[in-house]
């Protein structure tokens, strides 16, 4: 029951008591329905403004971003919506205040494809004559030490092409920098993770909603390792990346490489035409040993490596990093959150 208070009149007190009773009844009904294990409730996500109470921890600001675009071609398609949600975090992955989303539409100077409008709910009339506020984006980024997206390889490349102010920032990816597969999640899509990890649903493919639910996802604890999702993401973001190119590998090894999660590089942007894979730099020696045994069997290992940190990770600019022979394993300086 709500205690008496001079600041709460009788009508308000009765309304609050009624709301509490209704919530208790709702929870009892849910427990009764789900007790036999046949049913499960999925809650609609509601924005949360704060996850952890203020304490003496040193806090920094990250920004979660999401873009909606006219298509998936990072070289030719255009952004039609940008959403940015700044939030405070500590080095151990606790999230504090989540600020209000700032979002803009932008006219792509071309018709929005019907399939994109159906998916995002954004139509030509919504973006006509509109433009992202470049100055405001820069102001938000000034305070941020890290930018996060759920498909950073796509979002970063789209944003850097339109807004170069994103280039010097450290980036992380909530899809790639959390070991979802090791935690038992067969899909890395944001909708699936919201359902399986948070037991929630939301308005997917709406940039603002995507950002809020993604921050919420990062606040949760992983089921197997017991770490906060953001804690694991930060650990990954602090690591240096080694991009290993299996140059000179035989055609017959393609399935071995593919099963190891190597991807085919077509030689775009001056990169080798070869199978490649991004790994933590700490795993480079182990990876080269594997290539020597299973790919370059009986021959010299011709693999090459590009090394970079979060300032280039997920950016097309990483393609320009100099290739090194695999014997080179010197230190790469980095500093992040």
Q: Mean pLDDT in the chain?
A: 91
**What is the pLDDT averaged over residues 170-191?**
96
What CATH number should be reported for the domain holding residue 142?
3.30.420.10
Is 84 within the bounds of a domain?
yes
Is 131 within the bounds of a domain?
yes
Question: Phi, psi at residue 260, to the nearest 5°?
Answer: -90, 5
pLDDT at 258: 97
pLDDT at 5: 52
Task: For residue range 268-297, list pLDDT tens digits in order.
Answer: 889 999 999 999 999 999 999 999 999 999
pLDDT at 328: 41
Does residue 183 share a domain with residue 119? Answer: yes
Does residue 65 share a domain with residue 204? Answer: yes
Residue-wise over 263-275: b if at least 16 C-beta within 10 A, else e? eebeeeeebbebb
The closest of 101, 113, 91 to 231, measured between CA atoms, is: 91
Does residue 152 share a domain with residue 11? Answer: no
Is 203 within the bounds of a domain?
yes
The closest of 106, 88, 105 to 97, measured between CA atoms, is: 88
Is 165 within the bounds of a domain?
yes
Is 271 within the bounds of a domain?
yes
Assess whether pLDDT exceeds 70 at residue 324. yes
Which domain covers residue 22, as residue numbers?
A: 7-41
In the chain, how many domains are there?
A: 3
The closest of 134, 47, 150 to 99, measured between CA atoms, is: 47
Q: Are 62 and 144 in contact (CB under 8 A)?
A: yes
CA distance 47 to 332: 39
């Amino acid at each position: 029951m709500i205690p008496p208070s001079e600041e709460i009149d009788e009508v308000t007190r009765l309304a609050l008591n009624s709301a509490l009773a209704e919530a208790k009844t709702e929870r009892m009904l849910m427990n009764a329905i789900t007790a036999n294990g046949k049913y499960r409730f999925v809650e609609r996500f509601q924005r949360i403004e704060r996850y952890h109470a203020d304490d003496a921890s040193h806090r920094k600001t990250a920004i979660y971003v999401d873009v909606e675009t006219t298509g998936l071609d990072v070289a030719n398609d255009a952004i039609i919506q940008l959403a940015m949600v700044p939030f405070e975090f500590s080095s151990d992955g606790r999230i504090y205040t989540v600020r209000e989303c700032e979002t803009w539409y932008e006219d792509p100077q071309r018709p929005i494809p019907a399939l994109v409008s159906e998916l995002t709910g954004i139509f030509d009339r919504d973006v006509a004559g509109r433009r992202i506020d470049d100055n405001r984006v820069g102001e938000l980024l000034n305070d941020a030490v890290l930018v996060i997206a759920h498909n950073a390889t796509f979002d970063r490349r789209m944003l850097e092409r339109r807004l170069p102010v994103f280039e010097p920032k450290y980036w992380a990816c909530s899809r790639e920098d959390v070991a979802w597969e090791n935690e038992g999640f067969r899909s890395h899509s944001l909708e699936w993770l919201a359902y399986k990890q948070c037991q929630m649903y939301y308005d997917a493919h709406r940039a603002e909603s995507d950002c809020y639910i993604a921050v919420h996802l990062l606040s949760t604890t992983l089921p197997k390792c017991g770490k906060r999702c953001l804690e694991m993401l930060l650990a990954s973001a602090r690591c240096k990346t080694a991009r290993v190119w299996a140059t000179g590998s035989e055609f017959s090894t393609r399935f071995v490489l593919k099963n190891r999660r190597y991807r085919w590089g077509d030689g775009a942007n001056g990169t080798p035409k070869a199978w490649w894979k991004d790994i933590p730099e700490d795993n480079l020696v182990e990876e080269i040993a594997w290539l020597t045994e299973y790919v370059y069997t009986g021959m010299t290992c011709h693999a090459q490596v590009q090394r970079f940190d979060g300032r280039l990770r997920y950016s097309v600019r990483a393609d320009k990093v100099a290739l090194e022979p695999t014997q080179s394993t010197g230190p790469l300086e980095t500093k992040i959150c």
